[in-house]
Each structure stands twice: as structure tokens, then as C-alpha cells.
Amino acid sequence: MNDILKLVGREEGLFQKDIQAYDAILREAIKGSRILVIGGAGSIGQNVVKEIFKRKPKLLHVVDISENNMVELVRDIRSSLGYIDGETAFVPICMGSQAFEAFWKAYAPYDYVFNLAAMKHVRSEKDQFSLMRMIQTNVIYTQKTHQLAAKAGAKKYFAVSTDKAESPANLMGATKRIMEIYLTQQNEDTAVSTARFANVAFSDGSLLHGFNARFTKRQPLSAPCDIKRYFMTGPEAGILCLFSAFVGNNNEIYFPKLDPNENLITFSQIAERFLEAHGFKPEIVASEEEARQRVNELITQKKWPCYFFASDTTGEKPFEEFFSPCDNVDWLRHKDLGVIKNIDGSDEKDIGVFIQSVKNIEAKDTWDKEELVELIKIFCPTLSHLDTGKFLDGKM
């Protein structure tokens, strides 16, 4: 973890004092509880599952669509944490499937339901097919699993959000904002909370994860030089979720306290630090073609070709934000955690109408992307979306 902190420009991990202050409360809440984690084999999910497992719940069930990631999660837990007396189950199913409905009927109720499943990539909004899956995963399945949890009397329903949900510049962030609004419009006895994340460093599919793959395969590194992001480690992401779920109140959004002057960093800066940590000097080249052509030549000289460029792809924002000036933010409750309080979605458009409209579109034999985009714009008026016609799949 210390190596990752150096790459993202921090000397200390987040939340250590918060954990010390609240660990007894977290353990007490978890030890007697029945907990379901949906999307528990993803990068954030695995860290959440391990944090819960360490505190020995009465029952811990994990479901995820990725069979391979689930296998690795189980191996990781058994190899590092071993076993607990509580019941555990790891089931590779999709939360939108009939199998999940059967699973729920067999094992519900749960005291806490974590929904960590997400379509998280801006590149996945490039066409109407992947965009539809994004809406299904981020919004429609949230409604489905929340309603199941509320009907069964769960104490808390937690869903993962993103910093991209604040004043979103892309459809991914907008779908997460719509999800947040949906949750604040619910009045059931089941409390809801969520968390907005920074980029989780080296999470599956992330650009930093791609740096590892490019390095292993002896391929050039490529990154935008004008996009700044906040970064967290995987364990920090797990703790953030635990605090929101077990300590947070109803209709609150947790986020990490990170300083924009100190903690916003470009991907190109991280790429350079990554290479230097591996004993290579970054060699800046003028094009993707030059980077590919010179890779073998440069590596023998302990240099690595890097193509850094100004971003021109759809959905990018120069920097992300965790909150707006209008939000009621509690800065004093925790040392490293900010809390957006008393969120009320009653003034927003009814997200139930959005969900039904999407289902009506889905029922057609085919659909247009623009139809979905316009619907998202109606229900997420803070979206500022410019389609440049270029997407990350067109980049190295």
C-alpha cells in the first residue's frame, strides 16, 4: 500500500484515526448481522468483503457476475484471513437474473445489503447497447435490489456511487446521480446511504491497472496529460463503504476528505512515477506509432516510451468533485471522511418514471442511443455532456 501512496502523491493512508475511533462500533454492528454483498468480487467489493469478514459477521453472502474474480476472492480470504464461525457463501450470479431472485427467496432476509455492482467506465457509454446495460446495472437493478431489501426489513441498503456523479460530464456519472436521487426518494423504514469515490488505484480495468499490464507485456504507456483525478487505495475504498453503511445515517453520502491543491494528480504524472519505481526513465514520444515502433529499442536502454496527449474524448472532465456548494456537508464528524447530510430528492423528477421509460424502450426490438441520452438529460439536469465523437476505445 505504501508504494501506491507514493505513486498518487500521499505519504499517509486515509481513515486510520477514524477506524480507531469507530472500530468497536463497526465490530458490534457486524458481528451479529446477516450481510449480503452484491458485486462483491470487483475491486471495491473484494476490499469491502474482507473488511466485513475480519469483523466476523453472523452470515456473509457474496454474489458477483464474475466467476473468475469470485474464485480469486475466496482464495485470497482463505489464504489471508482463514475462516469464521459465521455462515459464508460465494455465488457467481448476476443480480438481474432469475437465479438471483431464487437465491434471494432462499436466504433473505438480510440486515444489511451492499450493492457494489456498477458499470464504471466512461468508455461503456459509446453505443446504445453498452449504455443500456449501464442504465440497467446502475439504476434499474438498484431499484430491484433496494425494493427487495426494504420489503424484507433490512436495516440499511448501501449503494456505491462515484465522484463523477457530482456535476457529471459523462453518462456514467449521470446514471449514478440518478441512482442517488432514486434512493433519496424512498420513504421505507430501510435506511439508505452511499459513498462517492475517488479513482481506486490499480482497480480492475482502470488506467493504472493498464499500466501494470502494459509493463508486463513490454508495451508503451499512454495517458492524458491534462486530466486530474483523486486516488484512493483498495483498502481505503473498503473502509469508506463500511463507514457509510454502518455509521452513516439515512440519506447521507460519504466521501474522502482530499485536498484539490494537494491530491489532484494527472495520469501522466503517475505514469512517470510508476516507471521510475520500476527502474525505468520515461521517454516522451510524439505519437502512438512512434511509441510502438521504439518500444524494444528504448527498453534495452532502461527507458520506456510514453505517449501523453491532451484529452479529446467524450465525457471527460478536467477534474472531479465530491460535493456542490449547495450541499450540507458535515466536516467535523470524522477526520478523513466528509458527509453530505439530509439529502432530499423530493424536489427532483420521479426516478420511477425514468425507470419505467427505460423499460419501455428496452421492450422494443431495438433502440437508439440518442433516445436514452435525452432521457438521462431530463432526469439528471446537472449533466453537462459533450459528445466529441471520439471514445477511449480509439486510444492506445
Rounded-to-integer distance, Cα 153 and Cα 156, Å = 9
The pLDDT value recorded for residue 18 is 98
pLDDT by residue for the chain (396 residues), tens digit each?
668 999 998 989 999 999 999 999 999 999 999 999 999 999 999 999 999 999 999 999 999 999 999 999 999 999 999 999 999 999 999 999 999 999 999 999 999 999 999 998 888 899 999 999 999 999 999 999 999 999 999 999 999 999 999 999 999 999 999 999 999 999 788 999 999 999 999 998 898 999 999 999 999 999 999 999 999 999 999 999 999 999 999 999 999 999 999 999 999 999 999 999 999 999 999 999 999 999 999 999 999 999 999 999 999 999 999 999 999 999 999 999 999 998 889 899 999 999 999 999 999 989 999 999 999 999 999 999 888 988 888 889
The pLDDT value recorded for residue 1 is 61
The pLDDT value recorded for residue 188 is 81
The pLDDT value recorded for residue 159 is 98
pTM: 0.96
Rounded-to-integer distance, Cα 235 and Cα 43, Å = 10
Cell of 48: 469491502
Rounded-to-integer distance, Cα 103 and Cα 362, Å = 25
**What are the residues whose beta carbons fall under 8 Å from the beta carbon of 342, sequence distance 6 or more?**
251, 252, 328
**Class of CATH domain 2-206+232-262+318-394:** alpha beta
